[in-house]
A and B are shown apart, each in its own frame.
Chain A
Amino acid sequence: MQNTLNRIEQMHDSSLFTAAVFDQAESERIGVSNYSYWRSTFRTFFKSKLVIALVALMAAILLMSFLYPLFSKVDPTKVSTRSRNWNLRPSWDHLFGTDTLGRDIFARAWYGCRNSFLLAFCIALSDVGIGMIAGAIWGYNRKLDPIMIELYNIMTNIPSTVYLVLLAYIMNTSYLTLFISMASRGWIVEARFFRNRILSIRDSEYNIASRCLGTPMFRIATRNIIPQIISLIIMEAALCIPYSIGSEVFLGFVGVGMPVDAITLGNMVNQGRASFTLHPYQMLLPTAVLCLITVAFYIIGNRFADASDPRNHL
Chain B
Amino acid sequence: MKEHKGPLLLAAKDIVVKFNLRGQELTAIRGASLDVYEGETVAIVGESGSGKSVFTKTFIGMLDANGKVEGGELLFHGEDMTRYDTENQWLKVRGKKIAMVFQDPMTSLNPVRMIGEQIAEVIIWHFHKSHDEAKKETVELLTKVGIDEPERRYRQYPGEFSGGMRQRVVIAAAIACRPEILICDEPTTALDVTVQAQVLNLIKALQREMGMSVVFITHDLGVVANVADWMAVMYAGKIIEYGEVGEVFHQPEHPYTKALLRSLPQLGVKGHDLYAIQGTPPNLFKEIRGDAFAPRNPDAMKIDFLEEAPAFPVSETHWARTWLLSPQAKAFREALIKKEAETRSVQTPALPFDYEQAEPLLSVRDLSVHFKLGSSRVKAVDHVTFDIYKGETLSLVGESGSGKTTIGRAIMSIYTGNVEGDISFKGRKINRKLNKKERGKLHMEIQMIFQDPMASLNDRAKVDYIISEGLYNYHLFENEQDRLAKVEKMLAEVGLTSDFMTRFPHEFSGGQRQRIGIARSLVMNPDFVVADEPISALDVSIRAQVINLLNRMKKERGLTYLFIAHDLSAVRFISDRIAVIYRGRLVELATCEELFSRPLHPYTKALLSAAPYPDPDVEKNKAVLSYHPERESREGKEWIEAFPFHFLYATREEAEKYVHENI
Q: Please name all residues of chain A whose beta carbon is closer than 8 Å to the beta carbon of B294 when the two chains form the complex.
A: 20
- Nearest residue (CB) in B for A223 is B461
Residue A261 CB within 8 A of the other chain: no
Give the distance in Å from the alpha carbon of A37 to the alpha carbon of B504 in the complex. 10
Task: Output the nearest chain B residue to A4 by Cβ-Cβ distance.
Answer: B310
Which one of B414, B460, B520 lies within 8 Å of A208 (CB-CB)? Answer: B414
Interface string of A24-49 (1 = CB under 8 A from B): 11111111111111001001000000
Tell whether B108 is near chain A: CB-to-CB under 8 Å.
no
Q: Which of A11-19, A58-66, A118-126, A248-256 interfaces with chain B? A: A11-19
**Does A223 contact B310, Cβ atoms closer than 8 Å?**
no
Assembly CA distance A216 to B440 (angstroms) = 11
- B517: shortest Cβ distance to chain A, in Å? 7
Q: Is the CB of A227 within 8 A of B450?
A: no
Q: A25-B497, A223-B465 are in contact. Are A31 and B455 (CB under 8 A)?
A: no
Check if B211 is an interface residue, CB within 8 A of chain A. Answer: no
Within 8 A of B (CB), among A207-241: 208-216, 219, 223-224, 227-228
Asked if B188 lies at the interface with its beta carbon under 8 angstroms from chain A, I say no
Chain A min CB distance to B37 (Å): 22
**Contact between chains at B524 and A213 (CB < 8 Å):** yes
Report the minimal beta-carbon distance from B52 to chain A, rounded to whole angstroms: 20
B414 and A27 within 8 A (CB): no
Contact of B517 among A22, A209, A223 (CB under 8 A): A209
B302: chain A residues within 8 A (beta carbon): 15-20
Q: Smallest distance from the beta carbon of B375 to chain A beta carbons, Å?
A: 15
B130 interfacial by beta-carbon distance below 8 Å: no
Give the distance to chain A from B260, nearest Cβ to Cβ, in Å: 16
Once the chains are docked, how many angstroms separate the CA of A210 from the CA of B517?
11
Q: Which of B87-95, B196-204, B467-475 contacts A (4 or more CB under 8 A)?
A: B467-475
Residue pair B295, A212 in contact (C-beta under 8 Å): no
Contact call A9/B305, Cβ cutoff below 8 A: no
- B293-307 interface code vs A (CB 8 A; 1 in, 0 out): 011111111111111
The answer, yes or no, to whether A303 is at the interface (CB within 8 Å) is: no
B458, A224: Cβ atoms closer than 8 Å = yes
Contact, CB under 8 Å: A210 / B469? yes
Q: What separation, in Å, do the CA atoms of A214 and B448 have in the docked complex?
A: 12
Q: Which of A1, A5, A26, A314 contacts B295 (CB 8 A)?
A: A26
| Chain A CB within 8 A of B328 CB | yes
Minimal Cβ-Cβ distance residue in B for A11: B307
- The CA of A184 and the CA of B294, in the complex, are separated in Å by 65
Decide: A28 and B332 in contact? CB cutoff 8 A.
no
B186: CB under 8 A from chain A?
no
B323 adjacent to chain A (CB < 8 Å): yes
Number of interface residues of A (CB under 8 A): 50
User: Would you call A206 an interface residue if the criterion is a C-beta within 8 Å of the partner chain's C-beta atoms?
Assistant: yes
How far is B459's CA from A5's CA once the two chains are assembled, in angstroms? 50
Question: Chain A contacts of B313 at CB under 8 A?
Answer: 1
Q: Is the CB of B517 within 8 A of A17?
A: no
Decide if A279 is an interface residue (CB 8 Å cutoff).
Answer: no
Measured between beta carbons, the chain A residues less than 8 angstroms from B618 are none
A23 at the interface (CB under 8 A from B): yes
A277 at the interface (CB under 8 A from B): no
Residue of B nearest to A40 (CB): B22
**B423 CB → nearest A CB, Å:** 15
Most buried by B among A20, A25, A34: A20
B398 to chain A, nearest CB (A): 20
Stretch at the interface among B113-121, B147-155, B213-221, B506-514: B506-514
Contacts of A5 in B (CB 8 A): 326-327
Q: Are B300 and A20 in touch, CB under 8 angstroms?
A: yes
- A209–B450 contact, CB under 8 A? yes
Q: Which of B22, B451, B509 contacts A34 (CB 8 A)?
A: B22
B443 interfacial by beta-carbon distance below 8 Å: yes
- Assess the B458–A223 pair: CB atoms within 8 A: yes
* Minimum C-beta distance from B409 to chain A (A): 7
Chain A residue numbers with a CB within 8 Å of B458 are: 206, 210, 223-224, 227
Is A30 in contact with B280, judged by CB distance below 8 angstroms? yes
Q: Check B450 against A205 for contact (C-beta < 8 Å).
A: yes
Q: Given A208-B409, A212-B448, A28–B280 Cβ distance below 8 Å?
A: yes
Shortest A201–chain B CB gap in Å is 10
Chain B positions within 8 Å of A33 at CB level: 283, 506-507
A154 within 8 A of B: no
Q: Does B496 contact A (CB under 8 A)?
A: yes
Check A16 against B310 for contact (C-beta < 8 Å). Answer: no
A17–chain B nearest beta-carbon distance, Å:
4
- Indicate whether B355 reaches chain A with its CB closer than 8 angstroms: no
Contact between A27 and B327, CB atoms less than 8 A apart: no
Contacts of A19 in B (CB 8 A): 299-302, 332
B56 within 8 A of A: no
B22 to A212, Cβ gap below 8 A?
no
- Interfacial chain B residues near A158, Cβ < 8 Å: none
B469 engages A213 (CB within 8 Å): yes
> A8 on the interface (CB 8 Å rule)?
yes
Q: How far is the CA of A208 from the CA of B450 in the complex (A)?
A: 9
Interface: B433 (CB within 8 A): no
Does any Cβ of B come within 8 Å of A83's Cβ? no
Q: Does A204 contact B (CB under 8 A)?
A: yes
B495 & A28 in contact (Cβ 8 Å cutoff): yes
Residue B162 is within 8 A (CB to CB) of chain A in the complex: no
B456 close to chain A: CB less than 8 A: yes
A313 touches B447 (CB 8 A): no
Q: Which residues of A contact B306 (CB under 8 A)?
A: 16
CB distance from B373 to the nearest CB of A (A): 14
- Is B286 a contact partner of A31 (Cβ separation < 8 A)? yes
Within 8 A of B (CB), among A79-106: none
Q: How far is the CB of B355 from chain A (nearest CB, A)?
A: 29
In the complex, which residue of chain A has the Cβ closest to the Cβ of B333?
Answer: A17
- Which residues of chain B are within 8 angstroms of A216 by Cβ–Cβ distance? 473
Partner of A206, one of B300, B301, B455: B455
5 more contacts with CB within 8 A, not counting A8-B310, A214-B439, A314-B66, are A17-B303, A35-B507, A209-B448, A209-B517, A214-B443
21 contacts between A and B (CB under 8 A): A8-B310, A9-B326, A15-B302, A17-B303, A20-B305, A23-B295, A28-B280, A29-B279, A29-B280, A30-B283, A30-B512, A31-B283, A32-B507, A34-B22, A205-B450, A205-B452, A206-B456, A213-B443, A213-B521, A214-B439, A223-B458
The 10 closest A-B pairs by CB, nearest first: A27-B279, A31-B283, A227-B460, A16-B303, A214-B443, A205-B456, A213-B470, A205-B455, A22-B298, A17-B329
